[in-house]
Amino acid sequence: MSEHILSEGQADLFEGVVCNLSADKLKMDENFKSALMTDISLRAKGFGYANTLCFYRLMYEEYMQWGLRNYIYLISERMNNFGEYVVVIDKPEELISKIEKAVKRENYKFICGPVKYRKPKLNGKSARDGYSMTVKMDDMINLRDYSSSILNNRTCFDKMDKFSWQNEWRVILYRGEKSVEPYRLEIGNIRDICHWVTIDNLENEIKCCLENGVIKNKINGYYGNASKDEVRELFCELGENKAELLAVIG
């Protein structure tokens, strides 16, 4: 799909989307339907109440050459726009453990893991190319009224493929509160499981961490006291099953 279907000024079409719908099953003006460039998206109101903590997940490959261990990795220069310093989590499994203990203490739900980057589609095929705009229906709809038209469900871990350079790993916290304000979960001191480095020294630091075994691929899949589907349903119910209907036309 072309990068130009959605402008950089527009929000990620998939962020907060709980499902996609086929326009063929909706009562919609035929002229409008013919202008669709992607499937219809429903952005859940309840997903807006999710407290999200985001990390960059380093992806690398290890190989041996002439008896020496080497590593291949790539970090987009666009990540430099996020700040001057980088906090490197040396022991991610212990970070998850700290979060889990704090969540249990507060009687919350959480799940953490990698974001999935997806390409927008239209009727099961690649989205149409060309200039476009995203339009939103004025009124909220009820998700249950559209259950028979759902093509696929989405969770709090779905984003558009054009953001794949972020390699995001996130923590989703469900507190059961209708609040869009930031929330601080007290997990205790983490100085013993992380260290910091400046952006200018990041590449050398990563190389050093890899060579000394500080960074290891120990965290795979999703962790938490709830599944992705369970958290999805909890947020939908918190938002009274209401959603915005979004369409990309052009």
Q: Which amino acid is at 182?
A: P
Mean pLDDT of the chain: 87
pLDDT at 64: 76
Closest to 172 measured CA to CA, from 32, 15, 61: 15
Question: For residue 68, what are the contacts with CB-CB under 8 A and spacing of at least 6?
Answer: none
In terms of residues, how long is the chain? 250
Using one digit for the tens of pLDDT, what is the confidence trace for 32-42?
Answer: 888 888 889 99
Q: Average of pLDDT values for 151-180?
A: 94
* Residue 61 clears pLDDT 50, i.e. is over it: yes
8 A C-beta contact, residue 114 and residue 179: no
φ, ψ for residue 91, nearest 5 deg:
-130, 75
pLDDT at position 130 is: 83
Q: What global pTM score does this model have? A: 0.87
For 103-154, what is each residue's pLDDT tens digit?
999 999 999 999 999 998 888 888 888 888 888 888 898 999 888 888 888 9
Place of tokens 């927008």: 120
**Confidence category of residue 56, pLDDT binned at 50, 70, 90:** very high
pLDDT over threshold 50, residue 2: no
Q: Which residues of 212-230 are buried (b: 16+ CB within 10 A; e: fewer)?
A: eeebeeebeebbbebebee
Distance of CA 156 to the CA centre of its chain: 6
